[in-house]
Amino acid sequence: MSMILCEEQGRIARITLNEPTRGNALSRAGASDLRRALAGLGKDVELIVLRGAGGRAFCGGVNSPEMVALPPEERREALTAFSAACLEIWDHPALSVAVLDGYAIGGGAHLAMSCDMRVMAPEAFIQFPSSGYGLNITTVWITLLAGPANAAWLMGSARRVPAPEALRLGLAQVIAPGDEALAALGLEGRTGFLELKAAIREAIPPHVAGALRAEQARARELVGLDRFVNALGQERSAKSAKAK
């Protein structure tokens, strides 16, 4: 059964990551299903709303136990599928909104940043720990929105960024409960988003697309290395010890 739920309501597509007991972490199958959902959207869809089920998490990243267990080449393929899903959201002609009812960590933060806008619940936070694995994914989007110094700070420290701080840095557009996201953004009942997205893309420096793909290529190579698995395994052990 797919962890991706997709429902089209007129010009709005609502895509939900539906595995709340695992923090909506994306498995290899989940990333592929997300890509299929995006590819299957009708041409009239102007707005994509991406959300995690359960209210506790938007997305906890990739499925780390699965990643650790895979051989190097399969890890690379798994990351490629995940990265491709994020880039396909970024490149989709419809405007996209990530609705963060709770946390978005690592790959989950990367997924949230792939959207054009983010709405965060008051208790939500976003966190970028991938620098500790040597991946440095999400640096392009953070740099684009918050500047290079803030990208270095947030990635280097892996600190939690609560909703008010994310708003101040430009990583989030509004703070509101998830069910009120579109109303808080002022997007309910409005159209013309396909044309708006196209105009915005024209205004973004042309080197950004190449930087995103270079970031993806570097990450693909790094996940095949033992140091990535060791770092991820150490993080899982630390979390387990803290939970006891």
Per-residue pLDDT of the chain (244 residues; tens, 9 = 90+): 789 999 999 999 999 999 999 999 998 899 999 999 999 999 999 999 999 999 999 999 888 778 878 888 888 888 889 999 999 999 999 999 999 999 999 999 999 999 999 999 999 999 999 887 778 889 999 999 999 999 999 999 999 999 999 999 999 999 999 999 999 999 999 999 999 999 999 999 999 999 999 999 888 888 887 777 777 666 655 454 443 4
Give the whole-angstrom CA distance, residue 65 versus residue 240. Answer: 12
Domain of 23?
4-181+191-196
pTM higher than 0.85 = yes
State the amino acid at position 129 in one-letter form: P
CATH number of the domain residue 34 falls in: 3.90.226.10
**Is 234 within a domain?**
no
- Measured at the CA of 211, the angle between CA 206 and CA 93, to 5 degrees, comes to 60
Tokens in use for 184? 């808080």
* Contact partners, residue 116, CB within 8 Å, separation at least 6: 95, 96, 97, 197, 200
User: What secondary structure letter does DSSP report for 223?
Assistant: T
**Is 206 within a domain?**
no
Label residue 184 exposed, middle or buried (CB < 10 Å: 0-12, 13-18, 19+): middle
Report long-range pairs for 30-35 (Cβ below 8 Å, ≥24 apart).
30/2, 30/3, 30/4, 30/63, 31/62, 31/78, 31/81, 31/82, 31/84, 31/85, 32/81, 32/85, 33/2, 33/3, 33/4, 34/4, 34/85, 35/81, 35/84, 35/85, 35/88
Residue 241 pLDDT: 42
How far is CA 43 from each of CA 11, 61, 62, rounded to the nearest angstrom? 9, 29, 29
Question: Dihedral (C-alpha) 50, 115, 20, 55: value to the nearest 10 degrees?
Answer: -70
**Is 225 within a domain?**
no
User: Could you give the number of structural domains in the chain?
Assistant: 1
Give the whole-angstrom CA distance, residue 24 versus residue 113. Answer: 16
**Is 30 within a domain?**
yes
Across the beta sheet with 174-175, the strand order is 4-9, 12-17, 47-52, 95-100, 117-120, 174-175
**Is 224 within a domain?**
no
**Is 237 within a domain?**
no
Give the whole-angstrom CA distance, residue 41 versus residue 231. Answer: 37
**Is 145 within a domain?**
yes
Residue 242 pLDDT: 43
Residue 240 pLDDT: 45
**Is 40 within a domain?**
yes
